[in-house]
C-alpha cells in the first residue's frame, strides 16, 4: 500500500426505502471515520445509506473517495461533492478500485449488492489474498439469517472455523471501527 492515511471501505444499502434508523447508523459510521482522522472509500452515490455515510464523513473532515459505474451515475445519483469521484465501466471494476484504496472493509446493513461485496472480501481474506480486516456491523440482527445459514454450512462441513475467523462481527459502531483498525 502507498503511504497515506487509513482508508475504510464501507459497503451499505443504497435504496431510499430503508428505515431512518439505518440512515442514522450510516451517519454515525461516517462521523466515526472522520473522528478517527480516516478516509472513506464507498460506492460513490448520494442515495440512502451510501449518501449518509459520505456526507457525515465529509462534514467531519474526512477525505471521501467515491467509486461508481457509469451506468449508475444517474440512477444512484453520483456524489459530485466527493473529494475524488471515480467513474468506472462496471461493478467488477468498482469493487476492484475500492479494494485497491482500502485498509479495512466495513459492511453495514444492506441488500443483495452489499452481501455480494461482503462475501467477496471475506472469501478473499480467508484465502489469504489479503490480510485486511473484514468487519460486519450487524445491528438489530440484520444479518441474523445469513449468519445462521453460514453456521449451518459450517455444521455440514462447507465452511471452516478458519473461514469464520476471517470475519469480525460487531454489534455497535465503536466496536466495528475498532475492529477495522485491527
Q: Is residue 175 part of a domain?
A: yes
Residue 41, beta-bridge partner list: 9, 65
Q: Is residue 77 part of a domain?
A: yes
Q: Which residue has the cell 477495522?
A: 180
**Which residues touch 25 (CB under 8 Å, ≥6 apart)?**
49, 108, 109, 137, 139, 173
Q: Which domain holds residue 159?
A: 7-180
**Which residues touch 51 (CB under 8 Å, ≥6 apart)?**
45, 77, 79
pLDDT at 3: 39
Q: Is residue 37 part of a domain?
A: yes
Q: Is residue 111 part of a domain?
A: yes
pLDDT at 129: 96
How many structural domains does the chain have? 1
Q: Is residue 39 part of a domain?
A: yes
Whichever domain contains 159, its CATH number is 3.40.50.450
Longest dimension (CA), the chain: 48
Cα separation, 78 vs 86, in Å, equals: 10
Q: Is residue 87 part of a domain?
A: yes
pLDDT at 128: 95
Q: Is residue 2 part of a domain?
A: no
The pLDDT profile of the chain, 182 residues, written as one tens digit per residue, is 333 589 999 999 999 999 999 999 999 999 999 999 999 999 999 999 999 999 999 999 999 999 999 999 877 689 999 999 999 999 999 999 999 999 999 999 999 999 999 999 999 999 999 999 999 999 999 999 999 999 999 999 999 999 999 999 999 999 999 999 98
Q: Is residue 1 part of a domain?
A: no
Amino acid at each position: 500500500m502507498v503511504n497515506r492515511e487509513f482508508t475504510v471501505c464501507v459497503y451499505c444499502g443504497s435504496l431510499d426505502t430503508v428505515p431512518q434508523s439505518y440512515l442514522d447508523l450510516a451517519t454515525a459510521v461516517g462521523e466515526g471515520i472522520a473522528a478517527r482522522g480516516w478516509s472513506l472509500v464507498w460506492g460513490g452515490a448520494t442515495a440512502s445509506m451510501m449518501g449518509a455515510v459520505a456526507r457525515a464523513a465529509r462534514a467531519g473532515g474526512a477525505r471521501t473517495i467515491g467509486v461508481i459505474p457509469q451506468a449508475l451515475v444517474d440512477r444512484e445519483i453520483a456524489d459530485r461533492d466527493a473529494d475524488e469521484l471515480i467513474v468506472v465501466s462496471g461493478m467488477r471494476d468498482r469493487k476492484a478500485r475500492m479494494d485497491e484504496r482500502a485498509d479495512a472493509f466495513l459492511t453495514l446493513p444492506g441488500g443483495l449488492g452489499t452481501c455480494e461485496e461482503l462475501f467477496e472480501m471475506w472469501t478473499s481474506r480467508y484465502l489469504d489474498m489479503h490480510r485486511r480486516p473484514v468487519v460486519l456491523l450487524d445491528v438489530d440482527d440484520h444479518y441474523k439469517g445469513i449468519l445462521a445459514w453460514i453456521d449451518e454450512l459450517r455444521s455440514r462441513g462447507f465452511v471452516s472455523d478458519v473461514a469464520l475467523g476471517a470475519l469480525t462481527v460487531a454489534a455497535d459502531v465503536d466496536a466495528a471501527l475498532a475492529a477495522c483498525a485491527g
